[in-house]
Amino acid sequence: MTLPDHSVAITRADALQDLRRAAHALSRHLDTGPERADLALIEEAISRLSANPKALPDDIGEFDRSRLDHLLDLTGPDLGPELLARLTEDLTATLDSLQQGAAVRDWKRLREATHVLISLAGSVGALSLQAMAEGLNTIAHSQDQAAAQATMPMLMRQLRALISFVSSTRMPNGAST
C-alpha cells in the first residue's frame, strides 16, 4: 500500500482542475448515451464544487448559476477573467442603451438593447431578467409607453444586480476580472 505524499500541497482548485482534465480525457472513451449522461452528471458536480459560494443579490431574480459556471468552465482560468470583464462591459452598455432609449421613447434603441439583453441574460442564467427583456421587446414593438414605464424599474433593478454580481465574480482558482 502506498501512503499519500503530504509534502506536496494540492489546493482545491488544483484538484478540481485535475477532475476536469480527467472527465475530458474520459469523454473520448465513452460510446453510449448512458455513459455520456453519467459523465455529464460528473461534470455538473465538478461545476457545483467549483462554484463561487458567494450568495446571489436579492434583486437578481430567478438565476441559474450553472449557466455562468458552464461558460467559465469552457473559457478556463486563463480566459475566464476576460469573459467576466466583457460581460460586465456589455451588460453596462446595454443598461445605458435601455436608459437612453426609455428616456426619449426611442423604440428602435429599446428593441436593439433588449435583443442584446435577452442573449446576455440567458447565457449567464438570469432567467427572470431574460423573460422581462423579452417582454420589453414586445412592448417596444407595440410602442406601449405605459407598459414600458411599468416594466423598466424591475428590469433595471435586476440588470444592475446582475452587473454587480458578474463584476464581483471570481474564478474558482482565485483569478478575477
Q: Which residue has the higher pLDDT, 52 or 43?
A: 43
pTM exceeds 0.85: no
Question: pLDDT tens-digit profile of 99-154?
Answer: 999 999 999 999 999 999 999 999 999 999 999 999 999 999 999 999 999 999 99
Residue 17 pLDDT greater than 60, yes or no: yes
Q: Domain residue spans in the chain?
A: 12-50, 58-168
| CA distance linking residue 105 with residue 143, whole number of Å | 8
Residues near 140 by Cβ (< 8 Å), separated by ≥ 6? Answer: 101, 107, 110, 111, 114, 148
Helix, strand counts (H, E) of the chain: 6, 0
pLDDT score recorded for residue 8:
52
pLDDT score recorded for residue 177:
42
What is the CATH class of 58-168? mainly alpha
Give the other-Cβ count within 10 Å of 155's Cβ.
24
Question: pLDDT band at 5, cuts 50/70/90?
Answer: low
| CA distance linking residue 152 with residue 146, whole number of Å | 10
Q: Which residue has the higher pLDDT, 9 or 37?
A: 37
pLDDT score recorded for residue 24:
86
CA angle centred on 80, ends 77 and 83, rounded to 5°: 165
